[in-house]
Amino acid sequence: MSVDKGLFNPRQTDTYDFYEGKPAPWNSEEEIERLVPTHCCYCGVQCGMYLKVAKGKVVGVEPRYDFPLNHGMLCPKGTTAYQTVNHPDRLTYPLMRRNGKNSPLERASWDEALDTIARRFREIQGQHGADAVAVYSGSSMTNEKCYLMGKFARVGLGTRHCDYNGRLCMSSATGANDRSLGIDRAANPISDMLHSDVIFVIGANVGECFPIVTSYLWQARDRGAKLIVADPRQTPIARTADVFLPLRSGTDSALLNSMLYVLITENLVDEDFIGARTNGWEETKAEALKYPPERAAKVCGLKPETIIEAARLYGQANAAMIYTARGLEHQSKGVDNGVACANLALATGNFGRPGAGYMTLTGQGNGQGGREMGQKASQLPGEREIEDPEDREYIASIWGIEEVDLPHAGYPATLMIPAMEREEIRACLMICSNPMVSLPDQHTVERALRGLDLFVVIDFFLSETCELADIVLPGNVWAEDEGTTTSLEGRVIKYNQAVEPPGEARRDWEIIGDLAKRLGKGQYFPYTSARDIFDEMRLATKGAKADYFGITYEKIEEQNGVFWPCPTPESTGTPRLYEERFGFPDGKARFHPIPYIPPAEEPDEEYPLVLTTGRVIYHYLSGNQTRRTPFLLEQAPCPWVELHTTMAQKLGINDGDWVTVRTRRGEMTVPALVVRSIRPDTLFIPYHYGHTQAANILTNPVLEPMNKIPEYKVCAASAVRAERAPDWAKDLDPELLKQARRSRKTLPSAGANVGPRVPGVPGA
């Protein structure tokens, strides 16, 4: 790749002096020309930052004090995010295979690449129908691009198969919000945490996955709030919890039902709120009364008195918040688990007030906006329904097409793979996604993608998935375009452009516009800027649940973000939902009884342990960016398996030994990290790595029945000491590995210094 490496300094981190608590003098040799206000490209917190620009390059970062969420803080990912912009691995020209699947990816011109794509898409659709081509989109990109991808699929390609990688993270939360509350957005801004008496975190590793949110937890604690944490691992925040519930993976709804049982039997429910603002209580109450703490304790692997203590603490609060994330949602019962959280909050009247609510912590940078802009299989912009006649008419009118020409619902991303396998889907355009790391049952995914007649990927690095593509188009990173995202709070914020894309790389919306022209649909995509797309998107969401109509780029900058719904130009947005009404036509929330159903796979003789997977602080999602950031890679250079001291002794495994972990899908060999901060019956492997290091070789592809999220967080597994290290270990510096293991063990989440005995965990 022809990249100017002159300004790329992988060792440079940032110019913020954490000890002095203020920006440090420039530590770059370059003369800084501009500070561009923008936001971190990684997690859903979307911290405010300035990018430092010198000689047309992004050379550093400053945290923003003026952004109300991070107040001058950034986590290790945020401080190094800028290093991806000038990275030598950036894709700077189109690549294509000219002589079939086994030929190499070779440099191509934009005309050659785009002409080939348009011709092949037309041929495939001519032969097999419009739905033979699918769009697989992403959520770590702006609202404008998410909106564009949904429109391009339905109007540019005329296919019903359009979905996105948020299917793998946010779809359980969406299902729960839609079923219980009627609006798919966080009920509260993060600052509400400071008004809570009790904070209940279940299935969310806040310290590692949303590091900056941790500061709100500590501030709330300083004001006297109590903390309850439920997690199979003693995560960093669990160390200081008032009540820690180290539950068995996949048993969340049994715990939540049992807490509701205690609230009911000890008269801690809010009958007035239930009567005035909800429906369906009696059925839910009857179901919860089947879960006395003694029964739930056996299911969850907890002590009954710990469940009672947690329930009392939660039930006696004036204002309590529940925070969840993928730990609770990455399950085949993920929607049920979210509904069970909402049941608890509704039963205690914990909605519509400062510090009272239930919200999911969104993982992807634009995991919120990405799920409301119309790129989901059954959705149109604004959280409109693709099968709703009025929604169809309205969006068709905005897009300038007839309603009959608007395709109906297609396959969610997780069902596209089997459709590719049976050759129903024969071509795919993918953007901002890396399923060769992120989807479960990797062997099947690889076979499906390799079998496509045409596989096109837009990306800025050659990801594991790009390696299988027939054509790769170089797109932009967040610093090279403007546009909006919607943070985990529901706050719409704006990225500002700092530099131009490198080499021949182009902005993604320009690539899509050019492709539309070549498909004869250019008149529907006349945009000359991201702002043009945003303005159309505002109209498309007008009057919908996720109403952005009153939001403008100027208002976002003036207000430091705008919470949707913002229905009119005069509106300043809606930071807290449900103060008077829930999102259903009668304004009332809905209880749903949630019977506990075990995970799809439970331990047995052959696979006696439970495997769970997740993130670590140093990496983001599939690691496509963070594994290219030297500082982050050094901290976590490869996956490992965390296992408890007791289990390690039983299996004859020492810290640092190579261990082979097996499930019914496959096996992988990784180093052991022996800790006391995990249930003895549980293994944990981080999922940020590719090829033979991908934890998703092992995970169970079973899907949640309604919203089709895979069960990443629980499957049956075995672990044995390996005879030898895997081949990839040859490329690892043993000293670095040792240092990373040491660093991980002194991180409180896994550390040797976790101190107190884990209550309720046998053998701890």
Residues that bind ligand SF4 (CB under 6 A): 40, 42-43, 45-47, 70, 74-75, 77-78, 210-212
Tokens of 321: 């918040």
* DSSP secondary structure letter of residue 289: T
Which residues have C-beta within 8 Å of that of residue 535, sequence separation ≥ 6?
none
For residues 668 and 640, what is the distance between their CA atoms, to the nearest angstrom?
10
Closest CA to 722 of 636, 638, 662: 662
DSSP, residue by residue, 435-499: HHHHSSSHHHHHHHHHT-SEEEEEESS--TTGGG-SEEEE---GGGS-EEEE-TTSEEEEE---S
For residues 471 and 113, what is the distance between their CA atoms, to the nearest angstrom?
7
**Cβ proximity of 77 and 61 under 8 Å:** no
* DSSP secondary structure letter of residue 69: T
> In the complex with ligand SF4, which residue's Cβ is closer, 210 or 527?
210
DSSP, residue by residue, 699-743: SEEEE-TTT--EETT-EEEEEEE-SS--GGGGGS-HHHHHHHHHH
The percent of the chain in helix, strand and coil, each rounded to the nearest 5, is 35, 20, 45
CB hemisphere CA count around 8 (13 angstroms) = 17
For residues 385 and 574, what is the distance between their CA atoms, to the nearest angstrom?
22
Largest CA distance in the chain: 72
Antiparallel, parallel or unpaired: β 48-54 and 34-39: antiparallel
Tokens 């299935």, residue located: 203
**Cβ proximity of 395 and 380 under 8 Å:** yes
* DSSP secondary structure letter of residue 501: P
> In the complex with ligand SF4, which residue's Cβ is closer, 74 or 413?
74
> In the complex with ligand SF4, which residue's Cβ is closer, 45 or 719?
45
**Nearest residue by C-beta to ligand SF4?**
78
Min separation Cβ 631 and ligand SF4, Å: 14
For residues 415 and 437, what is the distance between their CA atoms, to the nearest angstrom?
17
> In the complex with ligand SF4, which residue's Cβ is closer, 114 or 169?
169
**Cβ proximity of 274 and 346 under 8 Å:** yes
> In the complex with ligand SF4, which residue's Cβ is closer, 49 or 260?
49
Min separation Cβ 620 and ligand SF4, Å: 7
Min separation Cβ 487 and ligand SF4, Å: 8
SS3 per residue for 640-660: CEEEEHHHHHHHCCCCCCEEE
CA angle 176, 181, 182 (to 5 degrees): 95
Closest CA to 419 of 128, 96, 116: 128
Report the SS3 class of residue 389. Answer: helix
For residues 599 and 714, what is the distance between their CA atoms, to the nearest angstrom?
7
For residues 651 and 633, what is the distance between their CA atoms, to the nearest angstrom?
29
For residues 181 and 583, what is the distance between their CA atoms, to the nearest angstrom?
6
For residues 453 and 134, what is the distance between their CA atoms, to the nearest angstrom?
12
Min separation Cβ 361 and ligand SF4, Å: 10
Closest CA to 480 of 493, 495, 458, 466: 495
